[in-house]
C-alpha cells in the first residue's frame, strides 16, 4: 500500500512538473508556430517590455509584458507613429491607424493577466 502511494505521488509530481515546465496551464495561443513556453522565455529574456514573436499569415505578432491594456495601447501607438501611422480610434480590441490614403487595424488581446498579444499587419512596416 505504501509503495503504491509513493508511486502515485511520484506520477502526480512528474505530471505537474511537465505541465508547469511547458506552461500548459496558460491560455491557448493564436500563434501556430510558437509554444507558450517559448513566448514566456522570449519576453522574460528581453530587456524591453515589447518583443516581436513571429511573422505568420501576413501579420507580425508581438507580446507586451503589461497588465494594463491602455498602457500596452500607448506602446503600440508610439511604435507605429515612428513608421508614419496616425492613430485614429479604438474600437474593442482594435486600434485603427491611417497613413496617406491607407488604413489598417492592429488587434490586441490580453493573453494572461501579465501579457498582451499584439497582431500587426505586415504592411505597417512598408
Q: What pLDDT shows up at residue 25?
A: 67
Spatial neighbors of 84 by CB under 8 A, at least 6 apart, are 99
Q: What pLDDT shows up at residue 19?
A: 60
Please report the sign of the dihedral spanned by the C-alpha atoms of residue 58, residue 30, residue 64, residue 37.
Answer: negative
Contact 50, 39 (CB under 8 A): no
Triad 104, 116, 121: Cα angle to 5° = 25
Tens place of pLDDT per residue across the chain (126 aa): 888 887 887 787 777 667 666 666 677 888 888 888 899 899 989 999 899 999 988 999 999 999 999 999 999 999 999 989 999 999 999 999 999 888 889 999 999 889 999 999 987 666
Q: What pLDDT shows up at residue 21?
A: 62
Q: What pLDDT shows up at residue 52?
A: 94
pTM for this structure? 0.80
> C-alpha grid cell for residue 87?
492613430
Amino acid at each position: 500500500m505504501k509503495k503504491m502511494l509513493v508511486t502515485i505521488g511520484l506520477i502526480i509530481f512528474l505530471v505537474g512538473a511537465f505541465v508547469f515546465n511547458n506552461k500548459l496551464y496558460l491560455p491557448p495561443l493564436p500563434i501556430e508556430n510558437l509554444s507558450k513556453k517559448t513566448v514566456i522565455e522570449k519576453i522574460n529574456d528581453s530587456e524591453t517590455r515589447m518583443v516581436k514573436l513571429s511573422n505568420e499569415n501576413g501579420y507580425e505578432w508581438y507580446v507586451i509584458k503589461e497588465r494594463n491594456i491602455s498602457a500596452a495601447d500607448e506602446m503600440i501607438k508610439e511604435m507605429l507613429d515612428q513608421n508614419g501611422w496616425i492613430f485614429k480610434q479604438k474600437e474593442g480590441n482594435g486600434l485603427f491607424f491611417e497613413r496617406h490614403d491607407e488604413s489598417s487595424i492592429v488587434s490586441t488581446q490580453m493573453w494572461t493577466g501579465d501579457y498582451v498579444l499584439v497582431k500587426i499587419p505586415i504592411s505597417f512596416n512598408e
